[in-house]
């Protein structure tokens, strides 16, 4: 029985193909982000040339520029605006397999798994192109392959419709994916712009995640939601410091008293360079204050 022959309305013995009913599905959110970036790029491209791909794609040069390592994540949400099939097949795969894997391992865990697959694929893609002397990788296919392979590990005998027509077991589909990408990585599929190494990285990561029983519960993404509060609090503290000059003067006076006491006890030669500068700065401010009076 294929994907579209399943009875989604049954309440008992739900299959892995049952509808995911959570309206805040992480899978759907990921799809929306990918589609939104694609259409923005398509609208603002100039002369058929993407304005986002050179900026968001993971490049060979990214390896040597740590300040650009964020591209190892953004490339996974960027697709060729001149090739709708690029994003279409990625999002179809993510829609069918991602929702089920998300339901199996949980929303937060699936998001972490997906982003980890994107990150690893970006790193491998950049290193591969760096070795080759140049290139750029974009697209969600590495993370989608990782999701598909993980689905096959969880439900190896589930039937899926290959090309929406041919029913095959999930494990056969997974083996086919891996074999095809190995052939491509070895150059047996002719000249291709497909990043086979990124796909294989996704498959390997998925296998390790399953067999090593990995999980990312230790990685708390909710910490990110506290960042705005952290920066607001930090901003308030900074403003208080800026508008409280007396506090700074009092601190300098106390430090000057300590240094003078040290001179009295041990002599001026015992002062450090920092202490000398502090004392000179305090003395200068005191002279300026007397001159103003």
pLDDT level of residue 139 (50, 70, 90 thresholds): very high
Given a cut of 50, whether residue 2 has pLDDT beyond it is no
Indicate if 160 and 275 belong to the same structural domain.
no
Asked whether residue 251 is assigned to any structural domain, the reply reads yes
Indicate if 129 and 252 belong to the same structural domain.
no
Identify which of 139, 152, 151, 173 has the alpha carbon closest to the alpha carbon of residue 99: 151
pLDDT at 233: 62
Indicate if 203 and 74 belong to the same structural domain.
yes
Indicate if 269 and 140 belong to the same structural domain.
no
Indicate if 281 and 214 belong to the same structural domain.
no
Average pLDDT of the residues of the chain? 81
Residues 38-61 pLDDT 10s: 999 988 888 878 889 889 999 999
- Number of Cβ within 10 Å of residue 224's Cβ equals 8
Identify which of 54, 21, 52 has the alpha carbon closest to the alpha carbon of residue 37: 52
- Give, in order, the Cα–Cα distances in Å from 204 to each of 13, 142, 199: 32, 10, 9
Q: Structural domain of residue 265, as residue ranges?
A: 245-292
pLDDT at 111: 95
Asked whether residue 115 is assigned to any structural domain, the reply reads yes
Number of domains the chain is built from: 2
- Contacts of residue 45, defined as CB under 8 A and 6 or more positions apart, other chains included, come to 51, 81, 82
Indicate if 212 and 256 belong to the same structural domain.
no
Helix (H) or strand (E) holding 136: strand 136-137
Residue pair 139/78 in contact by the 8 Å Cβ criterion: yes
Indicate if 281 and 136 belong to the same structural domain.
no
Indicate if 278 and 196 belong to the same structural domain.
no
Q: Which CATH number does the domain housing residue 74 bear? A: 1.20.1540.10
How far is the C-alpha of 26 from the C-alpha of 106, rounded, in Å?
9
Lowest mean pLDDT among 68-72, 83-87, 99-103, 153-157: 83-87
pLDDT at 12: 39
Asked whether residue 148 is assigned to any structural domain, the reply reads yes
Indicate if 206 and 286 belong to the same structural domain.
no
Indicate if 103 and 193 belong to the same structural domain.
yes
How far is the C-alpha of 149 from the C-alpha of 121, rounded, in Å?
15
Residues 169-207 pLDDT 10s: 989 989 988 998 888 887 776 656 778 899 999 999 999
Indicate if 199 and 275 belong to the same structural domain.
no
Asked whether residue 188 is assigned to any structural domain, the reply reads yes
Indicate if 118 and 261 belong to the same structural domain.
no
Residues 111-123 pLDDT 10s: 999 999 999 999 9
The share of the chain scoring above pLDDT 90, in percent, equals 41
pLDDT at 74: 94
């Amino acid at each position: 029985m294929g994907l579209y022959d399943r009875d989604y309305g049954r309440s008992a013995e739900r299959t892995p193909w049952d509808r995911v009913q959570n309206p805040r599905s992480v899978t759907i959110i990921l799809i929306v982000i990918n589609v939104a970036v694609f259409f923005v790029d398509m609208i603002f491209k100039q002369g058929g040339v993407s304005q986002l791909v050179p900026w968001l794609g993971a490049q060979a040069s990214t390896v040597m520029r740590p300040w650009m390592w964020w591209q190892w994540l953004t490339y996974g949400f960027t697709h060729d605006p001149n090739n709708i099939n690029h994003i279409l097949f990625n999002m179809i795969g993510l829609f069918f397999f991602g929702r089920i894997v998300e339901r199996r391992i949980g929303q937060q865990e699936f998001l972490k798994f997906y982003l980890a697959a994107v990150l690893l694929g970006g790193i491998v893609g950049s290193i591969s192109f760096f070795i080759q002397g140049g290139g750029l990788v974009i697209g969600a296919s590495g993370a989608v392959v990782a999701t598909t392979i993980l689905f096959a590990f969880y439900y190896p005998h589930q039937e899926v419709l290959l090309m929406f027509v041919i029913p095959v077991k999930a494990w056969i589909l997974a083996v086919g994916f891996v074999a095809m990408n190995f052939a491509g990585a070895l150059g047996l599929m002719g000249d291709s712009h497909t990043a086979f190494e990124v796909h294989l990285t996704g498959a390997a990561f998925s296998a390790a995640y399953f067999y090593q029983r990995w999980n990312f519960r230790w990685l708390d993404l909710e910490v990110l939601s506290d960042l705005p509060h952290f920066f607001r609090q930090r901003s308030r503290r900074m403003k208080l410091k800026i508008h409280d000059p007396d506090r700074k003067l009092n601190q300098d006076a106390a430090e000057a008293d300590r240094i003078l006491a040290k001179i009295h006890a041990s002599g001026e030669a015992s002062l450090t360079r920092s202490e000398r500068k502090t004392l000179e700065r305090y003395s200068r401010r005191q002279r300026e204050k007397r001159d103003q009076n």
